[in-house]
Structure 1
Amino acid sequence: MMIRFHKMQGLGNDFVIIDRRHGPFEATLHTMSQLCDRRFGIGCDQLVLLDAADREGADVLVRFFNPDGSEAGACGNASRCVAALVGGAPVLQTRAGLLPSFVTPDGEIGVDMGRPVFEWQSIPLAHAMNTLDLPLSGNPAACSMGNPHVTFFDGLERAEREGAALERNALFPERANIGCVEILSRQAVRLRVWERGAGLTLACGSGACAAVVNGVRRGLLDRHCDVTMEGGSLRIHWRKDDDHVLMIGPATHVFEGQIHL
């Protein structure tokens, strides 16, 4: 079977996007692993599938899959890439809800990621606890941006050193994305993220949102903040009037093609 695909990236966070509105594709664990493999397939951090929306107000249904076959509820950079690919500032239907997109005057792509979630059972965590001060070395904070995020504020090294173990810590029944922050000022941070099911990535959009949200909750950051990762920077704005988190940055179409499966 020949499958048509698009390869896109946001700050080096790269995706294979398959639009099933234009042809069938069965997403088995084998085919997903093959597509994501950088040696035997196309290679990407996540596989993104597009289908016809079935909710009022949505333009396209979007699903995000990690290389290990697990499904993510949201992916910020992939959402911006899908918005750029579809065009016309579409509203994306995701497991995390409807995510409106927009284009800035300078041509960057923004997505409204909705309200962060702080209740322990909704993130989810294993049992009741203060989500602003988890009982782990380094005292991280947790929230959900459509998927579970844990943010440390004591430097970047922990992501690579402990990310794999922390992702699967017993506190996180659905595993967790591990973000490690270096604060530069109240409006600028550096971030490294170990993504569940994918490992270290050059950027993580929902992780950038979570880092700013948890930093504001801790009294460390302002609601407008630039987040710099290895692949580049995102502008994050946690609006005070409705608690929605806006994420703005570049989205690049790398190439398109067909692959035989």
Structure 2
Amino acid sequence: MADFASYHVLGNDYLVVDRADFPRTADAARLVCDRRRGVGADGVLLPTWVDGVPAVRIFNADGSECGRSGNGLIILARHLREAGVVPSGHLTVRTATGPADVWIGDDLSVQVSLGPFRARDPQRLDVDATVVDVTTVDIGTPHCVAFGSPSAARRLGPLLVAYPGFEQRHNVEFVAVPGRDTLDAEVWERGAGYTPASGAGAAAAAVAARVRGLVDPVVSVRMPGGTVRVEVADEVRLTGRASATAVGQLAADLLADLGVARHA
């Protein structure tokens, strides 16, 4: 049995580590996600089963724990389906922020419910001598959605992540609205930096645009890595597809660095 599998959703990549003895720590997550000293990824998913229900802990590449990840849940669903432990159709996954409903299509597309959301009134923030029009959104993880040129994400994203008052640190999305059914977005994640795509980021962008009355309930969110579909009603749902890239064993040297004994 492989120790891990690697997947991505539109370039946002995660490792799914199936070893029960893998440390559930920030240091272990940072090491295995390191693209030089470890395997390399934007984050790591550590699945388990609780009372017959799949559960997952999610760590970002910087070692911080993520309560719920849209792309992470899409990847986990694909992984469990590929392993033959769940069928197509509905399942519930336990996360740090509560249960998440997931639907796996026969074509391996995955729809994830990110649950109800909270959006605050628009604010104007002064960041690096630039006034930014934002809406903050909570969908299990905190997001700051800024309306303006998506290309500003690389420059202003890292400054907004830890803006005064954002005690939890926020994921940041810079969004343009070319039409009522389309958004363009670029994302700076609090735990991974600039990413070509983010499922939760796309969902937060759609929520912020919807509560402002700028888009219809169903919207395509275009990011540098590709496009996902988001539905905003009483809850927010994300639809995407994960691609597998590798399966493998963690080498003895890496296991030693992790403080894990090699399998006999």
State TM-score, norm by structure 1: 0.87
Query: Which residue does the alignment assign to 1:126?
Result: none
Separation of aligned partners in 2, 1:36 and 1:16:
8
Give structure 1 stretches of 5+ with no counterpart: 119-130
Look up the match of 1:7: 6
> Share of identical aligned residues, percent?
34
8 A Cα contact 1:205 1:247, kept in partner: yes
Q: Give the C-alpha shift of residue 51 in structure 1.
A: 1.6
Aligned counterparts, 1:47-196, within 5 A: 47-54=44-51, 59-87=53-81, 88=87, 89-104=90-105, 106-118=107-119, 131-136=120-125, 137-196=131-190
The structure that is strand-richer by fraction is 2
State the alpha-carbon separation in 2 of the partners of residues 116 and 29 from structure 1: 27
Q: SS of the counterpart of 1:139?
A: strand
Matching residue within 25, 28, 33 for 1:28: 25
Partner of residue 245, structure 2 = 254
The 5 A counterparts of 1:186-225 are 186-225=180-219
Q: Structure 2, unaligned stretches of length 5 or more?
A: 82-86, 126-130, 256-264
Letter matched to residue 186 of structure 2: R
Q: How far does the alpha carbon of each residue in 1:12-38 deviate from its partner, in whole angstroms, 9 at most, with x for none?
A: 110011124xx3211333322121011
**1:5 positional shift:** 0.7
Cα RMSD (Å) of the superposition? 1.7
Give the counterpart letter for 1:252 in structure 2. S
Q: Is the Cα–Cα contact under 8 Å of residues 15 and 45 in structure 1 kept in the other structure?
A: yes
Match of 2:236 in 1: 245
Whether the 8 Å CA contact 1:132–1:214 is kept in 2: the answer is: no
What is the DSSP-based 3-state SS (H/G/I as helix, E as strand, rest coil) of the residue aligned with 2:21?
A: coil
Conserved 8 A contact 2:54-2:93: yes
Q: Greater CA deviation, 34-43 or 86-95?
A: 86-95
Structure 1 Cα separation of the partners of residues 187 and 111 of structure 2: 20
The answer to whether 1:39 aligns with 2:40 is: no
Is the 2:161–2:172 Cα contact (8 Å) retained in structure 1? yes
Asked if 1 retains the 8 angstrom alpha-carbon contact of 2:2 and 2:247, the reply is: no
Offset of residue 105 of structure 1: 5.7
Report the equivalent of 1:236: 230
In 1, the alpha carbon distance for the partners of 2:137 and 2:117 equals 7
Q: Secondary structure at the match of 2:39?
A: coil
Worse-matched range after superposition: 160-169 or 29-38:
29-38
Q: Is the partner of 1:220 in helix, strand or coil? A: coil
Tell me the number of residue pairs that the alignment of Structure 1 and Structure 2 aligns. Answer: 240
Deviation at residue 52 of structure 1 after TM alignment: 1.7
Residues 107 and 51 from structure 1, CA distance in 2 versus in 1: closer, same or farther, beyond 3 angstroms?
closer
SS in 1 for 2:206: helix
Letter in 2 for 1:110: Q
Write out per-residue CA displacement over residues 201-227 of structure 1, whole angstroms, 9 at most, x where no aligned residue: 111111111111110111111110000
